[in-house]
């Protein structure tokens, strides 16, 4: 067990991959030092099930939104509906939302409309926006900046694996970059270099489990406890001890996801 505690800022505990082992996976994460996790709802029709997981497990918080790859299949969210969900004490973020032109470029217009609605909800609630970005850097930067100029909001670029320009633009707006298992892959040096140029106080860690397991589990089902392996790589990127990097990312998480920190304090 690592000595310092960390948070898995983005996982998907409602996915069927965990149906038979959910409680064990959560317990294993906590035992390994990952004392808190945010499970993300990607289709609003699934929100009740995701909420139930957060209610049943003390270390688990949740967020909800419409994933960009589902934007064409799901009813368009409304800002009012998202704001209403945010009344739950363990609901701590808006999303994930964003743009994905790698697999679903044909729904770009719908994705952009959905993203703007989620930005409005983040502005209204003061909760952080959780962004998925793939193969859409220019449009992503433009829409995030347009919303930010109109009314500032907070945001995390989840599982950041985009280009240096989008990273710089996000950081200029005060947003956070989250390291997933991708940052630990041997061929991801260019991505690690982007993180190394970012301020330490804007870095989070996550699994995006059940996807993207870091070495030594690459190719297997990912789980929140494996955040530790990505954090080890993060510590190397920033030239820090594991404990120092863990402490920094904890402080960052609690600054951005202040509602989760306040719930735990209470």
pLDDT in tens, 177-214: 999 999 999 999 999 999 999 999 999 999 999 999 99
CA atoms within 13 A of residue 46's CA, in its CB half-sphere? 23
Across-strand partners of 98? Answer: 132
Is-cis flag, bond preceding 39, omega within 30? Answer: no
Confidence of residue 2 (pLDDT cuts 50, 70, 90): low
Q: What is the mean pLDDT of the chain?
A: 97
Average pLDDT of the segment spanning 57-82? 98
Domain 6-265 has CATH 3.20.20.140: yes
Confidence of residue 264 (pLDDT cuts 50, 70, 90): confident
Task: Rounding to the nearest 10 degrees, give the CA dihedral for residues 30, 86, 88, 132.
Answer: -20
For residue 159, pLDDT over 90 is answered with yes
Give the closest residue to 92 by CA, choosing from 117, 132, 59, 114.
59
**Confidence (pLDDT) at 137:** 98
Confidence of residue 266 (pLDDT cuts 50, 70, 90): confident
Average pLDDT of the segment spanning 5-31? 97
Find the helix packing angle between 164-172 and 137-150, rounded to 10°: 10
Task: Rounding to the nearest 10 degrees, give the CA dihedral for residues 236, 93, 40, 253.
Answer: 20
**Confidence (pLDDT) at 95:** 97
Confidence of residue 92 (pLDDT cuts 50, 70, 90): very high
For residue 265, pLDDT over 90 is answered with no
Q: Tell me the C-alpha distance between 26 and 224, whole Å.
A: 7
In the sheet with 155-157, reading across from the earlier edge strand, the strands are 6-11, 34-41, 60-64, 91-100, 129-134, 155-157, 176-179, 203-205
For residue 91, pLDDT over 90 is answered with yes
CA distances from residue 10 to 148, 162, 256 in whole angstroms, order as listed: 23, 17, 13
Find the helix packing angle between 242-256 and 258-265, rounded to 10°: 100
Average pLDDT of the segment spanning 128-152? 98
Average pLDDT of the segment spanning 118-123? 98
């Amino acid at each position: 067990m690592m000595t310092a505690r960390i948070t898995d800022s983005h996982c998907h505990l409602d996915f069927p991959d965990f149906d038979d082992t959910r409680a064990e996976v959560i317990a294993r994460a906590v035992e390994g030092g990952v004392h808190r996790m945010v499970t993300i709802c990607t289709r609003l029709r699934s929100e009740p099930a995701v909420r139930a997981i957060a209610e049943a497990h003390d270390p688990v918080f949740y967020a909800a939104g419409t994933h960009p790859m589902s934007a064409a299949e799901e009813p368009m969210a409304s800002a009012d509906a998202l704001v209403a969900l945010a009344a739950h004490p363990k609901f701590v973020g808006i999303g994930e939302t964003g743009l994905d032109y790698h697999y679903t470029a044909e729904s770009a217009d719908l994705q952009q409309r959905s993203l703007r609605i989620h930005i409005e909800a983040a502005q209204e609630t003061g909760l952080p926006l959780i962004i998925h970005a793939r193969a859409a850097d220019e449009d992503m930067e433009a829409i995030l900046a347009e919303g930010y100029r109109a009314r500032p909001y907070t945001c995390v670029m989840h599982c950041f694996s985009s280009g240096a320009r989008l990273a710089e633009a996000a950081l200029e707006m005060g947003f956070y970059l989250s390291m997933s298992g991708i940052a630990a892959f041997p061929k991801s040096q260019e991505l690690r270099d982007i993180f190394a140029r970012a301020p330490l106080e804007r870095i989070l860690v996550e699994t995006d489990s059940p996807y993207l397991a870091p070495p030594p589990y690459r190719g297997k089902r990912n789980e929140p406890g494996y955040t530790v392996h990505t954090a080890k790589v993060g510590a190397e990127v920033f030239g820090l001890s594991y404990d120092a990097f863990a402490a920094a990312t904890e402080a960052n998480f609690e600054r951005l996801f202040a509602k989760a920190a306040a719930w735990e304090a209470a």
